[in-house]
Amino acid sequence: MAGQVYWEDVEEGLEIRELVKTPSTRQLVQWAGASGDFYEIHYDKDFAQGTGLEDVIVHGALKNAFLGQLVTDWMGERGILKKLSCQYRGMDVADDTLICKGTVTRKYVEDSRHMVDCRIWIENGKGERTTPGSATVILPSQSR
């Protein structure tokens, strides 16, 4: 975690510090156990390839969790994650480098809360955006 981000420090267009993940088959098995998603395409290479996939693929919900970590690491302990969403537009495979990225798209005050909207996404090792999404956070203000 980089420290606390305050609303006054944020401007539209600000890039969020990248988060790099390289999910292994072991991590996918652990996620399957924790989430209850035991579909074999996520941990059995032979099964995955038998369905036409190049390798085992990363669970969509795990990619959503990576994006959640990107945002919560950036906003700091006093920030509040109000909304997080993403879409699964491409498959990511185990042992590929996934880069979680984001930018601030809007900064505003709503009901006395200091809000920030962000565009977030995951890029695979080929530079393809496979998981676009958005987040809204409430940041603390230095004026309070």
How do residues 126-135 score in pLDDT, each as one tens digit? 999 999 999 9
Reduced to 3 states, what is the DSSP secondary structure of residue 31? helix
Across the range 32-50, mean pLDDT stands at 95
Q: Is the pLDDT of residue 1 over 80?
A: no
Helices (H), 1-144: 25-35, 45-50, 60-75
Instruction: State the Cα–Cα distance between residues 111 and 37, nearest whole angstrom.
Output: 39
Q: Is the dihedral of CA 100, 18, 112, 78 positive or negative?
A: positive
Sketch the domain layout of the chain as residue ranges: 7-23+58-138
Q: Is the pLDDT of residue 144 over 90?
A: no
Domain 7-23+58-138: CATH superfamily is Hotdog Thioesterase (3.10.129.10)
